[in-house]
Amino acid sequence: MAKLKITNTSTDGIIHDRYTGPEFINGAYVGGTGGNTTQAGRQISPTVKIGSGTTAAGSITAQKGAHKYHVTDNSGNYATATLVNLATPTVANTMSIALTLNVITSANVIAANVVGNATSTYVTYATANVVGPATIGVNSVLLGLGGNTAGLVTAVNATVAGLANVTIATTGNVAAQTVAFANNTAYASRITNRYVYDFGNDGNLSTNISGGYNPNKWRYHLATPDSTYIMVAYA
């Protein structure tokens, strides 16, 4: 197993292993590195929960296994943490790395039941407004929708007035809205310097690697998605 490259700054101020290679495409180097996120440049930025501490943005200091990394919460606490399929890890010594598979630059949320009993609503968008290599489908998670709008896609529907139409699960009073920059988001189950893997058919409810794990593999960079590369969270 190739270890994730870790950026470090020596005592003379020279930054080592900052990039994975010379390829600079669409304003970013291909892939990414770990390392303390206070260093110059861009490093992968996980969300970590160390022991009983508060969940926080952290840094990767070393790789310890296919799904485990030595991390810090950037406040002096360190642990070996396991990747989980959650935006906010809740169990001690776990971590997550957010993946932006697509950005929808303009979407419309159709108003749900205004008395507060809605269990779903619709999001419509022009396919020309979707940037990124992934397909938005069932179990995609659209983040950035306003108000009480949840983001799990439960169905892909027929187009409406030429717009793609998906059903999302929600609860309660959802107002009609136009949203800029909704993100189709997943979380990493494994990451190398050039590729990242999601949790695949392990679904959006799992919190750990488990039986039936069948990840999707993505090329990535530490920048907004384009037609080839997804975005890994960075600082």
Tell me the pLDDT tens digit for each residue of 5-33. 999 999 999 999 999 999 999 889 999 99
Q: Which amino acid is at 194?
A: R
pLDDT tens digits for range 193-204:
999 999 886 544
Cβ-contact 179, 106 below 8 angstroms? yes
Whether pLDDT at 117 is above 80:
no
β-sheet bridge partners, residue 195: 219
* Average pLDDT in the chain: 91
pLDDT of residue 37: 97
- Answer with the residue of higher pLDDT: 215 or 69: 69
Question: How wide is the angle at C-alpha 227 spanned by C-alphas 89 and 102, nearest 5°?
Answer: 30
Q: What is the model's pTM?
A: 0.92
